[in-house]
Amino acid sequence: MFQNSLEYAKKQDADDTLAAFRNKFHIPKDASGKELIYLCGNSLGLQPKITSEYIKEELADWANLGVEGHVEGKHPWLPYHEFLTENMAKIVGAKPSEVVVMNTLTTNLHLMMVSFYQPTKTKYKIVVESDAFPSDKYAVESQLKFHGIDPKDGLILWKPRKGEELCRFEDLEEIMQTHGNEIALLMIGSTNYYTGQSFPLKKITELGHKYDCMVGFDLAHGAGNIQPNLHETGADFAVWCTYKYLNSGPGSLGGCFVHERHANNETLNRFAGWWGHNKKTRFNMRHEFDALPGAEGWQLSNPPILSMAAIRASLDTFAEAGFENLRKKSEKLTGYLEFLLDEMKNDAINVITPRNPKERGCQLSIQVKNADKSLHTKLTEAGVISDWREPDVIRVAPAPLYNSFEDVFHFSEKLKKVLK
């Protein structure tokens, strides 16, 4: 059982086999040099200390080898994305051939919808969760418009019930029963950015396929946080960013999953680029487009190496820790945070994230009655880096790679003081 004491938190950290990984990250400090309580990995993950080494290695090869770095570098640039594939595939539960690191999240989402959203006159609607991250909703609406479809007609929102914050699967089932013959695509965020709710990906995929719909997921808040088991889930595609839980730096590249059953499907539309072309003839320049099999075939351009070096640094750290170990710690760490919040016995706060650890990642979204952003400002002044979402929610995400039980305990104490 959890205990509400600093001694208990310290004991948990002392017994934590992953505790040493905290020292592998740069922890932000205040003006006096004291470490801040950083619980904002759901917006931007902290920098691994090895990141600068990995980037400097590529800068050195560029300085010393010039263009020859593509083939002569320590990690040659020509196949550089391949150095990321295996570790990334493990994190999202996919086969290496189904995964590629490329572009940014919304770019990849558009590329996937070009291929997997194929509306007809009667089957053209898209389902998204009602409070999807705005960029997803904008992307989906613009795809509908591109096909000459009014979003007011073509977009179906999977909404929580009145007075509730979380989406219920049975309500999605009802949507499909009512509109399934009109729906072409289910495009769902795997883990909702606002509530922290993780959706049942396999059940959603099976439901969509039952009605002959394509199914895709946005793992922006899932990759590196939950284990989506994408291959087993059977989703047609998925996209994600790497700068949140995957600690690759602000605005870094995204990742893309295409299920292997689509690996050689030449009937799919796609926006093509030369880096998705057959590697054997890519530099011949005069061949017709010959798509690489698997997810690699959706690449457009040669990769930005410096950004990929940062991703490689983070993925190597994840591989060293082991993702199963991280998930186990994450459930315990977030469970402890939940316990401490309950211990406060404060009617003003309400955790809107699911109580079941299997239905969430590490984030808890704390709704504070009658609060405004001044509450978040006070927390920041108290040495906590968290995230405020209008109208009344503080998002905190203890990341198991670098957050400690002591972090969580001190956060709860500071929140208690601020609320007083």
**For residue range 293-321, what is the model confidence (pLDDT) as tens digits?**
999 999 999 999 999 999 999 999 999 99
Angle between helices 405-419 and 6-15 (to 10 degrees): 160
Determine contact, residues 28/19, Cβ cutoff 8 Å: no
Q: What is the pTM of this model?
A: 0.96
The pLDDT tens digits of the residues spanning 63-92 come to: 999 999 999 999 999 999 999 999 999 999
Distance CA 141, CA 136 (A): 9
For the chain, the average pLDDT equals 97
E strand or H helix that includes residue 328: helix 323-343
pLDDT, average across residues 189-201: 97
Given a cut of 90, is residue 396 above it in pLDDT?
A: yes
Given a cut of 90, is residue 285 above it in pLDDT?
A: no
For residue 60, give Cα distances in angstroms to 53, 67, 242, 315: 10, 12, 24, 21
Q: Map out the domains of the chain with their CATH numbers.
A: 6-48+322-419 (3.90.1150.10), 85-319 (3.40.640.10)
Determine contact, residues 98/298, Cβ cutoff 8 Å: no
pLDDT > 70: percent of the chain: 100
pLDDT category of residue 38 using cuts at 50, 70 and 90: very high
The pLDDT tens digits of the residues spanning 330-352 come to: 999 999 999 999 999 999 999 99
